[in-house]
Structure formats: C-alpha cells, structure tokens
Amino acid sequence: MTEVSSLTGRLLVATPALADPNFDRAVVLVLDHDDEGSLGVVLNRPTPVGVGDILEGWAALAGEPGVVFQGGPVSLDSALGVGVIPGEEETPDGTAPRAGGRTGSRDPLGFRRVHGAIGLVDLETPPELLAAALGSLRIFAGYAGWGPGQLEDELADGAWYVVDSEPGDVSSPVPESLWRAVLRRQRSELAMVATYADDPSLN
C-alpha cells in the first residue's frame, strides 16, 4: 500500500471504465488522504449558478467561468473554496509545510495550504483579506469522499489514473476540456487515452 499521505495534492482522473455517473470523465483534486479516508473536489463540473448568487463577496475573486462547481456528491448544500497562492515555503523533504496554525507562517489569514501553491480558503474570512494574495479561487458545492481503504480499493480496480496536479488545473477557464487536457500532457500511454470517444462503444 502507498504511504497514506501520498495522494494529497494529486489528481484522480476517471478511467473510461469507471461506471459511476457522478464521476464520468471526472478530474478530482485530492485535498486530504490519510488512513481515515480521502476527500477531494471534482474540478470539471461547472454548474449554472453564479458565485455572486450565493457568495456575493467572493464573486470578484472567482476566475472564469465565475460559477459554482459541483465538487462531488457529498454535502451539496455546503460551499468549499479552493485557491492558489504562489510562493510556498518548502520543508527540507521538498514538500510544502503542513498547513494550519504555524506561528510565523507567510500564508494569509483564512488560507490553509494543502499542497504546493494550492490550499483551502475559509469562506467566513472577509474576502478583502485574501484578495491581494490569491492567484485564483474556485468555489465548490459539495465534495467527493471515501472511507478508510475505499479509494485504495477503487485504484486497485482500475477506476482512476493518479497523476500530478498543476496549479492551473484548479482555475482552468475551460473545465469541460480538463479531462482530455490532463491526460494529453502525460508522458506515457495515458496521453493516448485522451483520444477516447465520449461513447466507449466507438473506441
């Protein structure tokens, strides 16, 4: 089994074989992965709801398209903010420091770094405290969650490709093409999967 923290900050890209309609062609950013389970948000499910319709103060900071995204099937009535703030400090092992509460951290109030430049935005924080620092912001309704060992089982069943994320994935202006774009940039046979037809029977 992989080290429990190893998937945090990485992308789960749905394989063509994944049958769950909630995750058809989904690209999931893993925000937390440990022995208690996993949590992430689907990056390529925009909704018709504008950010300003539910979180007026954050609308000006949300990138194009300025809509709420469906982050997954769990807790659809809750909002989650994911932002990018460049310039993280790195610890000697090459990873970003564990976010949350280290005195002297350079991260602004209301931002908890998850991996590299990517972090969670506390939507209770006044937006103006983060406006100058945020490189991008996306608002999600709901999230994707897995219990202990559940994601590992799905990986073993071939439901997901695991690839590295890039900060721009969070704020892709054309989220509908993100599945193909992420696969296409892989330097492996995964780049060929990007050519799969939307209807699997046509492959």
Sign of CA dihedral 142, 38, 12, 203: negative
Q: Is this prediction's pTM over 0.75?
A: yes
Q: Look-up: residue for tokens 């931002």?
A: 111
Per-residue pLDDT averaged across 7-33, rounded? 92
Q: Residue 194: what pLDDT?
A: 76
C-alpha–C-alpha distance, residues 79 and 134, integer Å: 18
Q: What amino acid is encoded at 24 in this protein?
A: D
Q: Sort 123 into a burial class: Cβ within 10 Å, 0-12 / 13-18 / 19+.
A: middle
Q: Which residue, chain included where needed, has tokens 């998937």?
A: 7
As given in the structure block, the two tokens for residue 185 are 């940039």
Tell me: the pLDDT tens digits for 121-180? 999 999 999 999 999 999 999 999 999 999 999 999 999 999 999 989 999 999 999 999
Residue 5 has pLDDT above 50, yes or no: no
What is the identity of the amino acid at 35? Answer: D
Per-residue pLDDT reduced to its tens digit, 43-66: 999 999 999 999 999 999 998 899
37, amino acid identity: G
Residue 197 pLDDT grade (very low, low, confident, very high; cuts 50, 70, 90): low
Residue 199 has pLDDT above 80, yes or no: no
Return the closest-CA partner of residue 182 out of 18, 12, 46: 12
